[in-house]
Structure formats: C-alpha cells, structure tokens
Amino acid sequence: MAATGSEKQGTKAFYVTTPIYYVNDAPHLGHAYTTVAGDVLTRWHRQRGEKVWYLTGTDEHGQKIMRTAEANDVTPQAWCDKLVEEAWKPLWEHLNIANDDFIRTTQKRHTDRVQEFVQDLYDKDEIYKGGYEGPYCVGCEEFKLPGDLIEAEDGTKLCPVHKRPVEILKEENYFFKLSAYGPKLLEFYEANPGFIQPESARNEVVNFVKQGLDDLSISRSTFDWGIPVPWDEKHVIYVWIDALLNYATAVGYNENPAKFEETFPADVHLIGKDILRFHAVIWPAMLMAQGLPVPGRVAANGWLMVGGEKMSKSNLTGIKPQDLTSHFGVDAYRWYFLRAIAFGQDGSFSWEDFTARYTSELANDYGNLASRVAAMVGKYFGGELPASAADGDAEKAVRDGLAKAVAVADAKIGEELDFQAGILAIFDFVKQVNGYITEQEPWKVAKDESEEGRARLATILYTAAESLRAVAVLLNPIMPETSQALWDSLGAEASLGTLASQPVQDAATWGQLPAGATVTKGAVLFPRLEEPKKD
C-alpha cells in the first residue's frame, strides 16, 4: 500500500514487522491479533504523513515443517506453497492488512543473504564447531534449558508452551559465541530502557541475561530441510537464525543498499511473548556481531486465552478468524481484540464478550450516532449540511473533548502501542457527542421555526456532523471500511479529499467539514447481530 499524505522525504521509514509465522497449519486468532495490531500501527503512521514499511511473512524451514509435510505425504516446499497461497495470504487480504511486503524464507532473496550473513560471522571467528546434547522442542524449534521445562505426572519433561515431551538431541553443530555478548546486551538494555516492552518482558530478559548466556547452536545436522551452511553443507542453518534474518533480507541487506539504509533497523518488532528471547537477546547480539544497528523496540503481546489455555492449533483451541468475521464483520473484528485486551497482557476471548461490546459500543453508541445525525440532517435540512451559527458552552465542550481524544489517541496508538487506551479515548468522545445530542434535543429545537430556532438547530447538527468527520479520520486505521462508509455519508470527499489523506494529528482542527456538504443516510454501519449458527 502506498504511503499517504505529505511524506517526510529523505527520512528513515517507520519500519514495523510481525513475526514470520510457521506454516505448519492455517492461521488462527493469535496470528491475526499481532498482524492486525501491526496494521493499525502502520496505518496510523501513514495517516500522519510518514514514510512507512510494514513487513510480514512466513517461516518455512525447520524440523516442524518437514514433519508436517511428511505427515501429509508432500514435499516441504509443496506444503509451504499450498498453505501460503491458500491460507495465509488470503486471510491477510480478508482482514484488510496493508503490508508492504510478504517474505517467505524459501525465497532466493532471503536464502542467499542468510548464507552471506552467516559466512561473514564465521569469517570473523564468531562461529565455531562443537557438539550439542540437550532438550529440544520441535514445536517451538527451540533448544530448551532444563530449568525451562515442566514435569508431567509420570516424570516426563514437557515444553511449557506446547505441553508436549521434548526430544533429547545429540548432534554435531556450529555455535555462535553468544556468551560474549551478555555484558554488551546488559549495557544496551540499561541505556535503552524502552527497547523491550512491556516492563515485565524487559525484566524477564534482563534477569535471564544476568544469569550468563551459553553459546548458541546455529546449525542442525540430522535433517536437511533448511538453508545449507555455506562452508559445510552437511549442516543446515538453525531455523531461528534463518528466521530472524528476514527482518534484514526483506529490506535489501547485501542487495539494495539504498533500501536498506532508509528502512533498517525495524522501529518496532511485534512478537508473541513466547519468542521474546530470540528477538531481545539473540537477534541484537547477531546484529552487534555484524556491526549493524539494533532495532528500536521489541514489543511482546500477550497470549489469547480460551478456557485458560493459550490459543494454538496444538492445544486444539485454534479458532479461525473467519469464524468471527462472518458473524461480526471484518472491521468489528479488527476493533475488538485491540479494544478488549491491553496490548502486552494476556487476554481471554469469548463470543459473549465480543457480542456485548459490539452491541453496546459499535452498534448502539457509534453506529446509531452516525445514523441519527444523517437522518436529522436529511429530515430538517434536506440532506444539506447547515452552517453553524454562534457556538455556546456546549459546543466548546465538544471541541475540547475532541482535542483531548486526538491527543490521547495519537500518543497511545502512535507512540506507546497502547491500542486499548487510544481506542477508548475515541469512543469516550463518541459517548460525549451522544450525550450532547441527548441534552440539546434537536428534535424539540426543530419545532421552533423562528430564525433563532433554525440557527440553533443548524449549530447542533453541524457540531454533530463535524464530530463524526473527526471520528471517521481517527478510526480509519482501525476500521477502514466503516470509516469510509461514514466519510461517504458525510459527503466529505468532495471537499476534503480521500479519507486516507486526512492527518490523524489534525483531526481536532474544527470546521473542516464545509457547510453545504451533501449528507446521506447510508447502510447501517454495524447491523444488529443474528444468532450464531449452532453446529
């Protein structure tokens, strides 16, 4: 998606990434949660007029993918191709994800650059040959520390994430001298306290590194589905080293210096908390070893919980996003998880909570406000927005409320990644406008056909419509389809231009919607919910 607004030419792009997702199965709500958050964040920055680059993609190497493909009697590449083209890319399109690039770790643009990166580290004596024996979780594709494991009733050691037995690996590997970077990482964390978010995640990483780091196995030699180690093709590069490098290879590392210079490093890596150490310890250490800049921020979101369990296919709690969008709509889906769950914390999902919030906040508060205002402009002024007359204290309070909503939403969404607080600020303003209409009672004012009465009615309806103009701008990064419908209903494009070109930070500038705009009552933004079908 092209950037909108007046870009700040010549500056570094605001670069946001999601994890690249394993293609061992179709995406579920947890994958979509992180990806929608990244989309809202990057849309917000685009609508500030900034240069933006949003990257997502798929992680297609490793033992887990190989075993899944074998179980389905296809080659790993055929499995990946099918899942990417039939499940992952279509879902992101369905959810209106405006990513600028989609990288696959089986692409040559990636595999060649990974080999070059690892070869450089080997040539710098940052990698050496050794042996490894210890627990490994294929589900996580992670070497586990004994202290990380949990114990089943029969004494079997389990992965704490997947609740499945770990495998004991014993094989020849190449190792990255991660242990040498512990002091440098601690110094970096101290100098950059906002590098890891939330605070609980930062504390976890700092404490982990303070205990001392072991060198990291960066190759596997007992299977071949991966990128060959360039100096020893009996080994393939450990899937996590391969995966982390996508953030560099996708933006031109060793291939397009101009692109790399204007994009790298990422300003925000959005991740799940279960992959925190890879991104906050291993990844910056790799970059330090290569003399490359470290990312601006690693933001770990919590887990989506169903019945007290992390949502995942392996735990049989995976829910398809389409199960929800078919009932609530795509925009409501994008809104709900960021509204209902504080980003960075675990959150529980239920149909009942989604239904209650949809009905109360989207249908009753927001959708009904848009319908009422359009209907009254149509009824009392023939669909032509009247000019506001003299504003009073009530109108000033609305303008002040809007200014506060814009300031809070811009800071919370655009800077702090506190999507919930930003959305709440916008909807608090929606509630304020509803309260304003209730108090001013335009349907009663309309009975006064004097010049003063008509002027007062015009002021009330202009204030309401102008408020909705600002709401459409603020909610566009979150709910683009319904925001566009509201923009069209207000007749705003004819005089103000496209909705995407409206700077969010300027949304509180009052009086942008001109008198005379054609206001029409379109389809209901958030229709009444039907009862979900029972199986």
CA distance 47 to 6: 9
Residues near 153 by beta carbon (within 8 Å), at least 6 away in sequence: none
Q: Are 284 and 188 in contact (CB under 8 A)?
A: yes
Q: Are 28 and 320 in contact (CB under 8 A)?
A: yes
505 alpha carbon, distance to own chain's centre:
20
What amino acid positions are annotated as catalytic residues?
Answer: 28, 31, 137, 140, 159, 162, 310, 313
Identify any residues that bridge with 271 across adjacent strands, giving them in sequence order: 300
Residues near 433 by beta carbon (within 8 Å), at least 6 away in sequence: 369, 398, 401, 464, 467, 468, 471
One-character DSSP codes across 181-248? GHHHHHHHHHH-TTSEESHHHHHHHHHHHHT-PPPEE-EE-S---SPEETTEEEEEE-HHHHHHTHHH
Handedness of CA 418, 503, 367, 99 (dihedral sign): negative
> How long is the chain?
535
CA distance 26 to 470: 38
Angle separating helix axes 182-191 and 283-290, nearest 10 degrees: 100
